[in-house]
């Protein structure tokens, strides 16, 4: 496999490509101007615009494209496109101008979308709306009370709801999930998906965002996985040792998947859809990771309540409506690493957490049992007679 270009070259090429993709032209029916780009779907800015105004809109849109290339990952761009499509469809259905720069309309959308979206996703939708306005040269203030107060209200309401936590997948269960995969293209892909998701402790968007060149075999050691962007916008490299057990060895899982998916382009997606006839499609969606975890766990007869009861006790199992999801791989890694007495610093390096408070949520279970005085009180060895 040819070596991947340096990361700086990737970033520069991507920025140049995004900027070149920006084209502003008059709409065919003279209803406004159309802003084309690879960032969002075509944007229609209604109204009459002079040639000088179109030049200025083009300049502003290209400047916005440079910012996007510098700040956001390709996964974020995909999320923004989907979010903008949702907002635009909602606005048009109610007769609102999507690019009207009206905080009342945006606030109404946030209120409606909050019925189905969690706060972090809602903020992604707001960022997409702001980006679309920037591309169109329109000013929309995210701190306007009609927007900021709406987000604050959603945060307060969602904080009161019963939080469902993902049940952690620990090594024993990971092995059962991996070995349950069939020896097919889909099964080999899923086996690598599970082992990398656990070993690199990735978020699901980071996992499906991996390219072929992001996963490198280090002879005698294991894999080095370059994870770009993510929630904190900071990339990281995770090292994963090869396993003694071939069933859960990430190096073996990579070899088996690449034996059937032999694409050599380092920039090609590592995880792609597989059609019924075995044809490879586009990059796998992050929801597919959830589906693989849930469907496999159901197939092997695991239930959420059983796993929660086993790992966190009956009271927690009763209180939480937990479920397996893609996040179970990430939380399972952190929990298992803590039980093996890995340091908080090393766990955070692997997961990419910037806040120790967040990372500690995953490992408090292990600390609860380590050096617990009741072990000495209740597990004394009987006196020898």
Series of mean pLDDT values for 10-residue runs along the chain (385 residues): 51 71 77 78 79 84 75 70 90 91 93 85 89 85 91 79 64 90 94 93 89 93 83 72 91 96 92 90 89 83 54 50 72 79 77 68 64 72 55
pLDDT score, position 262? 92
Residue 239 β-bridge partners: 224
Q: Which residue has the tokens 């086996």?
A: 191
pLDDT score, position 73? 64
pLDDT score, position 338? 74
Calpha distance 264→262 (Å, rounded)? 6
Residues of the chain with CATH 1.10.443.10: 171-369
Residues of the chain with CATH 1.10.150.130: 8-160
The half-sphere exposure of 38 on its side-chain side, counting CA atoms within 13 A, is 13
pLDDT score, position 362? 61
Q: Which residue has the tokens 């006839």?
A: 277
pLDDT score, position 178? 92
Closest by Cα among 59, 50, 57 to 30 = 50
Under a CB-based contact definition with an 8 Å cutoff, are residues 345 and 357 in contact? no
pLDDT score, position 175? 92
List the structure tokens of 287: 């929801």
Calpha distance 319→312 (Å, rounded)? 11
Candidates 1.20.1200.10, 1.10.443.10, 3.40.980.10, 1.40.20.10; correct CATH number of 171-369? 1.10.443.10
The stretches of 72-184 forming alpha helices (DSSP H) are 74-93, 103-113, 119-135, 145-160, 171-179
pLDDT score, position 382? 58
Helix and strand numbers (H, E) in the chain are 17, 8
Calpha distance 81→285 (Å, rounded)? 14
pLDDT score, position 339? 76
Residue 237 neighbours by CB under 8 Å, 6+ apart: 224, 225, 226, 227
pTM for the full model?
0.54
8-160 belongs to which CATH class? mainly alpha
């Amino acid at each position: 496999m040819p070596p991947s270009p340096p990361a700086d070259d990737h970033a520069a090429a991507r920025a140049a490509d995004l900027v070149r993709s920006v084209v502003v032209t008059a709409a065919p029916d003279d209803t406004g101007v159309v802003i084309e780009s690879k960032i969002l779907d075509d944007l229609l800015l209604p109204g009459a615009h002079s040639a000088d105004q179109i030049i200025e809109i083009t300049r502003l849109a290209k400047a916005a494209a440079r910012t996007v290339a510098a700040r956001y990952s390709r996964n974020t761009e995909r999320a923004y496109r989907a979010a903008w499509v949702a907002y635009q469809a909602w606005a048009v259905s109610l007769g609102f101008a999507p690019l009207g720069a009206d905080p009342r309309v945006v606030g109404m959308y946030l209120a409606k979308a909050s019925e189905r979206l969690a706060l972090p996703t809602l903020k992604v939708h707001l960022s997409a709306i702001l980006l679309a306005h920037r591309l169109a040269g329109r000013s929309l203030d995210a701190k306007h009370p009609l927007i900021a107060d709406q987000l604050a209200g959603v945060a307060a309401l969602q904080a009161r709801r019963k939080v469902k936590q993902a049940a952690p997948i620990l090594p024993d269960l990971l092995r059962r999930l991996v070995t349950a995969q069939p020896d097919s293209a889909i099964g080999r892909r899923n086996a690598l998906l599970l082992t990398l998701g656990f070993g690199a402790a990735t978020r699901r968007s980071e996992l499906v965002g991996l390219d072929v060149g992001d996963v490198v075999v280090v002879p005698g050691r294991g894999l080095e996985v370059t994870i770009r962007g993510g929630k904190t916008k900071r990339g990281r490299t995770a090292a994963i040792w090869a396993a003694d057990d071939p069933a859960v060895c990430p190096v073996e899982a990579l070899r088996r998947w690449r034996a059937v998916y032999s694409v050599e382009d380092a920039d090609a997606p590592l995880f792609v859809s597989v059609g019924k006839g075995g044809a490879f499609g586009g990059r796998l969606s992050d929801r597919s990771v959830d589906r693989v975890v849930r469907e496999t766990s159901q197939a092997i007869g695991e239930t959420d309540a059983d796993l929660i009861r086993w790992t966190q006790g009956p009271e927690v199992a009763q209180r939480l409506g937990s479920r397996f999801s893609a996040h179970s791989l990430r939380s399972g890694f952190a929990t298992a690493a803590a039980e093996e007495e890995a340091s908080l610093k090393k766990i955070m390096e692997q997961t990419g957490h910037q806040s120790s408070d967040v990372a500690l949520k995953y490992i408090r279970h292990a600390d609860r049992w380590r050096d617990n005085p009741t072990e000495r009180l209740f597990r004394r060895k009987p006196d020898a007679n």
